[in-house]
Amino acid sequence: MKYFIIAGEASGDLHGSNLIKALKRKDATTEIVCWGGDLMENAGGRLLQHYRDISFMGFIEVIFHLRTILRAISNCKKQIEVEKPDALILIDYPGFNFRIAEWAKKKEIIVNYYISPQLWAWKENRIKKVKRDIDKMFVILPFEKDFYKKYDYEVEFVGHPLLDVTENYVENMNFKKQYQLDNRPIIALLPGSRKQEIQNMLAIMLTLVNKFPLYQFIIAAAPAQSLDFYQNIILPLQRKSVKVIQNQTYDILNHAHAALVTSGTATLETALFNVPQVVCYKGSSISFAIAKRLVKIKYISLVNLIIDKPLVKELIQNELTVNNLENEFIKILDDKNRSVLFSEYKLLKQKLGGEGASDRTAELIMR
């Protein structure tokens, strides 16, 4: 079998890489061509396009880069026609992937969608496109099956693939020595994977460094960005003591005492490593104003959405100030607050459906 997989951001690259491994475990002759990142390529996919060149966040930012996006969609269609896959596997990234799905369906190409777009948050009307263009949808959040059932569309709940990733993590016993870390508790800074969000979030996260000298701060750098990019943000702020470590997010979280995390998949990864966190998000004022009118959810972090209450503090847009961040950071250092959080994290894991998401999805796709 030959599959063409499309992922457009770091989380999609992670989940795509594990799906590729699962597909190849079940059939060693499986051929994978993909749009994604380094992880998918290392897992055995033949990479045609890296996500770093097509990943944009926010309404205004997408408009500014519309020509680039449309050109990428056109190139992707041409590549699918050349490669002639037995099926497509689309991973999240709805603005791009829905266009590909509509085109592919007309070409009578089988379309699998792994990790549902967040239609329950906004653009619920896209359900018509899902029912029309997607042969099978594989969802990873427990409440998504009921959401689609409302619209008479049967989906497969396969569990969350991050459970496999974190459960299979092998500790690097030399981590502290390798990166010349001292014995102070580690604070993990996860400012996101896109340049725009890193620029928005990292500067304010770094304001805590000089205020809490009893802790050492480490930036979990995204693989798609250069180390120079991070240094250009750090140096003007005179935070030379901050370490920047690339491609070692799980090692950092495994040793972290607490974390400041940009909203996204990283909030769930942080919870699965039992690390208390403050969730941060700040976008362009215009994009945020538009989103506020359209988005219908109570929370922006996956942790709070899944457990359906404000378990971790979310500092969004104007709430993300130096004072607020410092106050919330102090709270997650408190032993009593941490104890409550740890017990709730256990419930979170139970709701995610158990291990084996990638294998279950691979099996269903191959059928």
Determine the pLDDT at residue 56: 55
8-state DSSP, 185? P
| Number of DSSP helices (H) and strands (E) in the chain, helices first | 18, 13
Strand partners, 35: 6, 49
CA 25 vs CA 7, 20, 343, 358: distances in Å = 21, 9, 35, 11
In order along its 367 residues, the chain shows pLDDT tens digits of 999 999 998 889 999 999 999 999 999 999 999 999 999 999 999 999 999 877 655 555 556 556 778 899 999 999 999 999 999 999 999 889 999 999 999 999 999 999 998 887 766 788 999 999 999 999 999 889 999 999 999 999 999 999 988 888 999 999 999 999 999 999 999 999 888 889 889 999 999 999 999 999 999 998 878 899 999 999 877 777 899 999 899 999 999 999 999 988 899 999 999 999 999 988 755 555 545 555 566 888 999 999 989 999 999 988 999 999 999 999 999 999 999 999 999 999 988 988 899 999 999 999 9
Those residues whose C-beta lies under 8 Å from the C-beta of residue 148, and which sit 6 or more positions away, are 116, 127, 130, 137, 139, 154, 155
Determine the pLDDT at residue 290: 47
Those residues whose C-beta lies under 8 Å from the C-beta of residue 305, and which sit 6 or more positions away, are 141, 297, 298, 299
Determine the pLDDT at residue 282: 82
The token duo for 352 is 């995610």
Q: Are strands 277-281 and 313-316 parallel, antiparallel or unpaired?
A: parallel
Distance CA 278, CA 330 (A): 10
DSSP 3-state assignment of 102? helix
8-state DSSP, 138? E
Which ranges in the chain belong to alpha helices (H)? 10-26, 38-42, 59-64, 66-83, 94-106, 127-133, 144-149, 162-167, 175-178, 195-205, 227-234, 249-255, 265-272, 285-294, 302-307, 322-333, 335-351, 357-366
Q: pTM (2 decimals)? A: 0.79
pLDDT tens digits along 22-53: 999 999 999 999 999 999 999 999 999 999 87
End-to-end CA separation in angstroms for the chain: 11
pLDDT tens digits along 256-314: 999 999 988 899 999 999 999 999 988 755 555 545 555 566 888 999 999 989 999 99
Set out the domains of the chain in order of their start, with CATH numbers.
2-160+354-366 (3.40.50.2000), 175-351 (3.40.50.2000)
Contact 114, 91 (CB under 8 A): yes
Contact 366, 23 (CB under 8 A): yes
CA 211 vs CA 61, 155, 318, 323: distances in Å = 34, 49, 21, 11
